[in-house]
Amino acid sequence: MTVNQVAAGRKNRVYFEIYGSSKSIGWNSERPNELWVGRRDGYNEIIMKDPSLLYDYSREIISFPGGHNEGFPDTSKQMFAKLYKYIANKGYLKGEVPEFPTFEAGYRELVLCENIFKSSKENRWIMT
């Protein structure tokens, strides 16, 4: 996974690839409606977002029809929709697992970033 918003020509790119023994996939946030599929013994392809082909769970967070970009602002919109639904349904009283970042997740992210910074300064792995 790479994240880049400082290289010339990159506009906050988040990119990841997942490799398997016969297929791989790649996704680039600067082209959010495309999923690259690589095959060892066949043609590679680009799959375009098509709401009619998605699972119901995925379809409920798609706001636009196929051919129209979902993008960065939609992430926050969907996260807050999940948060408000959780509160309205009193998910916190029912012990439901939230589908959005919690304060605990934010704390883990801060610890991770601090350890990355410290690892860089000390030129060694910092694990806590």
Domain positions in the chain: 1-48
Dump pLDDT digits (tens) for 26-50.
Answer: 999 888 889 999 999 999 999 988 8
List residues bridging with 31 in a β-sheet. none
Dump pLDDT digits (tens) for 48-61.
Answer: 888 888 888 888 88
d(CA 19, CA 25): 7
Residues 6+ apart with CB under 8 A from 60: none
- Model pTM score: 0.56
- At 75, phi and psi to the nearest 5? -60, -50
